[in-house]
Structure 1
Amino acid sequence: MQVIDDLKALWPLRDFRRLFAVRLTSQTADGMFQVGLATLFFFSPENASTAVGVATAFAVLLLPFTIVGPWAGVLLDRWRRRQVLLVGNLVRVGLTATIALLMVTGGVGPAVYVLALANLSINRFLLAALSASLPRVVDGPLLLTANSLTPTLGAAAAFVGGGLGFLLGLVLPEGHLRDGAALIVAAAVMGVAALLATRLGKDRLGPDERADAAQLRAALGTLARGLVEGARYLVERRTPAQALGIMATHRFLYGVTFIASILISRNLLSDPTDVDAGLTTFAGVLGASAVGFMLSVVVTPVLSPRVGPQRWIVLCLLLATVSQLLLVVSVSRTAVLVAAGALGLAAQGAKIAVDTIVQRDTADAYRGRAFALYDVLYNAAFVLAAALGALTLPDTGYSRVLFLVLALGYAAGAVVFGLASRSAVDRRTVDTPAPA
C-alpha cells in the first residue's frame, strides 16, 4: 500500500517520528474528550434535541477560540513550539482532571462548560503548533507525503480515541461516575503526549527568532498590526490566501451537513426519545466519515502529486458536491452513511492539500500566524454554519432544498477556486525569471 511506502520513506527521520508520536497520542486523548462532550451536549435527554440547541452548543464550543486564535499566531512565531506542545498538554491534564472531579461531585454546571471551552481552545492551539512544526522535521518532496499522513492519521487517532471513549461509556454504569472515568483516562493519555514531547530538543521545532519578555509584550500590544501584516503577506503570496479561503468555504458547507447529521441520527433515523439509539446511529455516521478519512491517506499521496494540490482540491470539492446530491435524492440510512464517507474523503483530502500549500508557500517567520489564521477561519466558518443550521434546518435535520443549495455551493467553490489557482500559477510563471 502507498501509505506503508510513505511511512517507510519518513520513518528514518527521527524527529519526524517523535513529532508524529506526539500528534497521535494528543489527538487520541482529544477524541476521548470530545466524545464525552458530544454525549453531554448532544445526546443527553435534557440537551440539544433541536436545530437551535445543536447550533447553540457548537457556537459556544467554537466561538471562544475564534476570538483568541489571533493571539496564538503571535505566540507560535515567538515561543519554542516544542515547549508549547509540552506545557499545553500538561495544562490540558489539569483541566480534564478538574472537569472529571466536578462531574463526579456536582454534575454538569457552569464551571464544566468554562473548563471544557478552555480545554478545546488549547487543543486547537496545539494542532496549530503541530502543523507549524512539521516543516522543521521534514522538507523537500517528503513534505507533501508527511502532510498526507500526519493530519489524516491524527484524525484517525482521534476517531480511535472517540471509539474507546464510546466503548468505555457502554461498559460502565450510567451516571456521573462513567463521565468522570472517561475523562480521567483522557487526562492520562494527554500526560503521555506531554512526556513524548520532551524527546524533542527545545529548539528543534523553531521558530528561528524568539523574543524576550519585553519584545513579547510589545508584540502582543501590536497584535492587530501583526495580523494585518501576516494577512497581507498571505494575500501577496496569493496561493496561501486562496487555499485558506477555499478551506473556510469547505468548512462552512461541511459544518451545515455535520449539524444536520446529528439531528438526522437522533430525530429521524432513530426514536427521538431513545438517546442511546441516536448516539449509536451517529457513531455509525462518524465511522463512515473515518473510513473516508482513511481512504484519503491512500488516495491523496497517489493523485495529488500527479495533478497538483490545487487541482486535487477541485476534485475533492466535486466529490463533496456528489455527496450532497445523494442526500437530495434519499435520506435513508445507507445514503447517509455513503454520503458521510464521501464527504469525509473530500474534506480530509482537501485539507491535506491546503496544509501543503500554506506550509510550502509561507516563510517560517509567518507560518505560526498563518496557521493561527487558518484555525480562526476554520472555527469561524463552523460557527457561521451553526447559525445557518439554526435558521434553516428542521428539528429532523433533513431539508432537500438545503442539501441542494449545499451541493451548488460546493460546485461553485470548485469553479471559482480552479480559475483563481490557475491565474496564480500563470502569474507565477510569468513573474519567475528563466534560469541562467
Structure 2
Amino acid sequence: MQRLALLVLLASGSCVSQAQQWQFDWDWAVSGYQTERRDSDFITPETDKYAHIDSLLDLQIRSGQWNGLFALYSQNLYQNHPQAWWTESDHQWIVRELAWQGSLEIGEQNIDLTLGKIRLDYGVSYAYRPLDMFKPYRQNPIGLSVEEGSLVATASSFDMDGEWTLLYTNSHWTDSDVDAFDRANQQHGAGIRRYGLLGQHEYQLIGYYDDVRHASLGGSWVTVPNQAWEFHTEALWQQQSIGYQLPTHPLQPVMLAENGPAWQVLAGFTYSTESGHSFIGEYWFDERAWSKTDWQQAQRRAQPLNVQSNTQPLASSYAQGLNHYNLTQHNIMLHWSWDTNSWLQWQNNTDWEWLRDITPTLDLLISPQDGGVIATQWFNYQWIDTGNASVDLEFTARFLTGDADSAYAQINDRRTLVFMIRGKF
C-alpha cells in the first residue's frame, strides 16, 4: 500500500494543474458460473455441482502523461450453498496499471520513457505467448479475468528500421491473490529488446537476466504474405526454471524445485476470409511442463493414496502439476471466429440482419500425446451501443473431454457454463 500511495501522490501532484484534462472510463461486468464437478485421481470434490457469481468494476484514469487502470474485483457474491452467501465472498482492490509515459531529447535523439506499473506483452501468438515473460496472461480464460502489470522502467529509441529498448521489470507487486507457483516465479531483472521491420516481416530479439530464470534469450518472427494469411513463431530459452517436481518416494508430497534450463517454442498461422471467418492454428512446446510419462506416474501413485483418508493430502499434492503455465509439454490450439458484419456486407437479403450483433467463437485446445481436449464456445451479443455507452451479453460453454487418462481429465471441472453481462459508460 505504501507503493500505491507514493504513486498516487506523484500522479496527483503532477496533474493537479491539469484537472480539466482528466478522463475517466468505466467498465463493469457481472458473471455467473455453473460448474459440474468430477472425481480425479488426485482430488474428490465435496459437491457435484458448484455455482457462483462474480463482478468486476474497472476504472481507467488518464491525465497528461499519466495513465491508471484500477479494478474492484468481487468473487463469490453468490454461491449455491445458502450458508456461504457473503461469508466467503472476496473483494479485492487491484491496481492493474499506474504509469507515467514521456520522452526526453539527448542531442538529436528522442528517447521514450515509461515508469510505473504497466503490462509489457511482447508475445505475438493467440493461445500462448512465450515472450510474455514478466507477468504472463492467464491462459484461455472464461468469465472474468483481472490482469496486472509489472513495475517497469523502459527507455526506447527508434531508428529507420525499428526500435531499441532498455528495460527493467519487477513482478513482485501483486494486488490480486496468487498461489505458491506464481509467487515462486515472481522476478526482477533487466534486459534489452530489438524490434525491427524487414519488408512484410517483423521480428523481435530479447536478452534478459533476472533472479529466477537467470539468463533468458527470446525472439519472434511474423510474416504477412497477403491479406488472407499470416504466419508467426516465437521462442524463449531460459537458464533456470521453477516447477513442481515428482517425489522420489511415493509417500512424499510434490514440491516446488529448480528444474534447470528449459525451452518454449511456438509456431502458428492465421487465415481470414472476406466473409469474416478467421482461423488460427498453433502448436507449442513447453519443456517446463510435465511430460506424458510424468502424468502417468503421478496418476499411478495418487490412485492408491486417494483411497485412504490419511493419505488423501499426499494424493492432492499431485494436483499442483495443474498450476503450471502449460499442463502438457505438447499443445495444439485450433480457433475459429466469425465477424458477421463482414459476411453481411456481401448479402442482399436483409433477413439475416439479426446476425450483425452476434459474434461466435470456438477454441479447441488439444493435448496430442495423451488425447485430452478442452472445447470452449463463446457467443457474444452486442445488446446496446450508443457510442457513449454499451452493453454486451456473452454465453460461454467449456467442456473437458478426450481420453480418460489424459492430464485434462485430472481437472475436477467437467463442464462450466458462464453467462456474463458487461458494459461501458
Structure 1 length as normaliser, TM-score?
A: 0.24
More strand by share: 2
Q: Specify the structure having the higher radius of gyration (Cα).
A: 2
Give the helix-richer structure, 1 or 2: 1
Which protein, 1 or 2, shows the higher relative CO under an 8 Å CA cutoff with sep ≥ 6?
Answer: 1
